[in-house]
Amino acid sequence: MNIELLSQIIQGEGGILGPVGMYAVAGVLATQLDADWLPCEIESAWYGRAEPQSYAEYLAELLESEQMPANGYLCCLSKQDVDKEAFDIGELVVSATGTPYQLHLFKEWPG
Protein backbone atom coordinates (compact mmCIF):
# COMPACT_ATOMS: atom_id res chain seq x y z
CA MET A 1 0.00 0.00 0.00
CA ASN A 2 0.99 3.58 -0.44
CA ILE A 3 2.29 5.07 2.85
CA GLU A 4 1.16 8.56 1.86
CA LEU A 5 -2.42 7.42 1.21
CA LEU A 6 -2.51 5.34 4.40
CA SER A 7 -1.28 8.25 6.50
CA GLN A 8 -3.88 10.59 4.92
CA ILE A 9 -6.65 8.09 5.69
CA ILE A 10 -5.45 7.59 9.28
CA GLN A 11 -5.31 11.35 9.87
CA GLY A 12 -8.58 12.09 8.07
CA GLU A 13 -10.62 9.34 9.70
CA GLY A 14 -9.14 9.23 13.21
CA GLY A 15 -7.24 12.45 13.73
CA ILE A 16 -10.18 14.30 15.27
CA LEU A 17 -9.83 11.95 18.27
CA GLY A 18 -6.06 12.31 18.43
CA PRO A 19 -3.72 9.35 18.86
CA VAL A 20 -6.43 6.99 20.16
CA GLY A 21 -8.57 7.57 17.06
CA MET A 22 -5.67 7.22 14.67
CA TYR A 23 -4.55 4.00 16.37
CA ALA A 24 -8.09 2.58 16.08
CA VAL A 25 -8.26 3.42 12.37
CA ALA A 26 -4.80 1.93 11.74
CA GLY A 27 -5.91 -1.27 13.53
CA VAL A 28 -8.94 -1.55 11.25
CA LEU A 29 -6.74 -0.97 8.21
CA ALA A 30 -4.39 -3.71 9.45
CA THR A 31 -7.36 -6.05 9.79
CA GLN A 32 -8.48 -5.24 6.25
CA LEU A 33 -4.97 -5.87 4.92
CA ASP A 34 -4.81 -9.18 6.84
CA ALA A 35 -8.11 -10.10 5.19
CA ASP A 36 -6.45 -9.51 1.80
CA TRP A 37 -8.41 -6.41 0.88
CA LEU A 38 -7.06 -4.92 -2.33
CA PRO A 39 -5.66 -1.36 -2.25
CA CYS A 40 -8.55 -0.18 -4.43
CA GLU A 41 -11.06 -1.61 -1.93
CA ILE A 42 -9.36 0.18 0.94
CA GLU A 43 -9.11 3.44 -0.98
CA SER A 44 -12.84 3.43 -1.82
CA ALA A 45 -13.96 2.30 1.65
CA TRP A 46 -12.22 5.20 3.43
CA TYR A 47 -13.25 8.65 2.21
CA GLY A 48 -11.69 10.77 4.99
CA ARG A 49 -8.39 12.34 4.01
CA ALA A 50 -6.26 14.99 5.74
CA GLU A 51 -2.72 16.26 5.69
CA PRO A 52 -1.00 13.71 7.94
CA GLN A 53 0.81 14.52 11.15
CA SER A 54 3.86 12.54 12.25
CA TYR A 55 1.86 9.99 14.29
CA ALA A 56 -0.33 9.13 11.30
CA GLU A 57 2.80 8.73 9.18
CA TYR A 58 4.35 6.48 11.83
CA LEU A 59 1.26 4.25 11.91
CA ALA A 60 1.22 4.10 8.10
CA GLU A 61 4.85 2.96 8.14
CA LEU A 62 3.92 0.23 10.63
CA LEU A 63 1.11 -0.86 8.30
CA GLU A 64 3.40 -0.91 5.28
CA SER A 65 5.99 -3.01 7.11
CA GLU A 66 3.26 -5.34 8.47
CA GLN A 67 4.14 -4.43 12.07
CA MET A 68 0.81 -2.77 12.95
CA PRO A 69 -1.35 -5.17 14.95
CA ALA A 70 -4.78 -5.88 13.51
CA ASN A 71 -7.61 -5.18 15.94
CA GLY A 72 -10.12 -7.63 14.43
CA TYR A 73 -12.57 -4.96 13.23
CA LEU A 74 -13.26 -4.62 9.49
CA CYS A 75 -15.43 -1.50 9.54
CA CYS A 76 -15.12 1.89 11.19
CA LEU A 77 -17.87 4.53 11.13
CA SER A 78 -18.29 7.91 12.77
CA LYS A 79 -21.06 8.48 15.32
CA GLN A 80 -22.66 10.78 12.75
CA ASP A 81 -22.77 7.98 10.15
CA VAL A 82 -24.09 5.45 12.69
CA ASP A 83 -26.86 7.86 13.73
CA LYS A 84 -27.71 8.83 10.14
CA GLU A 85 -28.09 5.20 9.07
CA ALA A 86 -29.79 4.18 12.35
CA PHE A 87 -27.22 1.42 12.91
CA ASP A 88 -26.71 -0.14 16.32
CA ILE A 89 -23.71 1.20 18.19
CA GLY A 90 -20.38 -0.33 17.31
CA GLU A 91 -19.00 -3.43 18.94
CA LEU A 92 -16.21 -1.13 20.11
CA VAL A 93 -16.70 2.61 20.52
CA VAL A 94 -13.62 4.82 20.59
CA SER A 95 -13.80 8.33 22.01
CA ALA A 96 -11.54 10.89 23.62
CA THR A 97 -12.08 13.02 26.70
CA GLY A 98 -13.32 16.49 25.92
CA THR A 99 -14.75 15.76 22.48
CA PRO A 100 -18.21 14.62 21.37
CA TYR A 101 -16.77 12.62 18.47
CA GLN A 102 -16.77 8.83 18.38
CA LEU A 103 -15.64 6.05 16.10
CA HIS A 104 -17.74 2.88 16.01
CA LEU A 105 -15.86 -0.27 15.07
CA PHE A 106 -17.60 -3.35 13.71
CA LYS A 107 -16.42 -6.85 12.86
CA GLU A 108 -18.60 -6.69 9.72
CA TRP A 109 -20.72 -4.08 7.95
CA PRO A 110 -23.55 -3.14 10.34
CA GLY A 111 -26.23 -2.67 7.68
Distances (CA, A) of 71 to 27, 80, 83, 100: 5, 22, 23, 23
Q: What average pLDDT does this structure show over 44-54?
A: 95
Q: Which residues are CB-contacts of 51 (< 8 A; sequence separation ≥ 6)?
A: 8, 11
Instruction: Identify the pLDDT of residue 1.
Output: 78
What is the distance between the alpha carbons of residues 32 and 28, in angstroms, rounded to a whole number?
A: 6
Measured between alpha carbons, how far is 89 from 70 in angstroms, rounded to an integer? 21
State pTM to two decimals: 0.95
Extents of the domains making up the chain: 3-106
Please state, rounded to an integer, the average pLDDT across all residues of the chain. 95
Q: Give percent of the chain above pLDDT 90.
A: 93
Phi first, then psi: give them for residue 73, nearest 5 degrees: -105, 130
